[in-house]
Amino acid sequence: MCVVHPPSPDWRAEFRCLEGAYAPSTMKSYVTDVEIFVRWCEENAAAPFPADVDTVCRFLEAQAPDLAPSTVRRRLYAIRKVHRLLRLPDPTYDEDINISLRRVRRAKHARPKQAKGLTRAYLDAFLAAEPDTPVGLRNRALLSLGYDLLTRRAELVALRTEDLAWREDGTLRVLIRRSKADPFGEGRIAFTSTRTRALIDAWIAWRGPHIPWLFCQIYQEKALAKPLGTTSVRDIVKQAARNAGLDDFVVKDFSGHSMRVGAAQDLLVKGHDTAAIMRAGGWKSVSILGRYLEQAEHNVWV
Q: Where are the alpha helices (DSSP H) in the chain?
A: 11-16, 24-43, 53-63, 69-85, 95-107, 120-129, 134-149, 153-158, 194-207, 230-243, 248-251, 258-269, 274-281, 286-293
At position 143, the amino acid (one-letter code) is L
What pLDDT score does 181 carry?
58
Q: What gap in Å lies between CA 166 and CA 177, rounded to an integer? A: 17
What pLDDT score does 92 carry?
95
Structural domain boundaries in the chain:
11-107, 120-298
Residue 280 clears pLDDT 90, i.e. is over it: no
The mean per-residue pLDDT over the stretch 133-157 comes to: 95
What pLDDT score does 110 carry?
54
* Cα distances (angstroms) measured from residue 200 to each of 120, 140, 143, 236, 278: 18, 9, 10, 16, 25
* 172-176 and 188-191 strand pairing: antiparallel
In this structure, CATH architecture of domain 11-107: Orthogonal Bundle (1.10)
Burial (CB < 10 A; 0-12, 13-18, 19+), residue 14, is middle
- Which of 102, 15, 14 minimizes the C-alpha distance to 60? 102
The dihedral sign for the CA sequence 103, 105, 109, 110: positive
Predicted TM-score (pTM) above 0.85: no
- Of 85-94, 102-111, 172-181, 284-293, give the range with the top mean pLDDT: 85-94
Give domain 120-298's CATH superfamily.
Intergrase catalytic core (1.10.443.10)
Residue 21 clears pLDDT 90, i.e. is over it: no
Q: What gap in Å lies between CA 134 and CA 60, rounded to an integer? A: 47
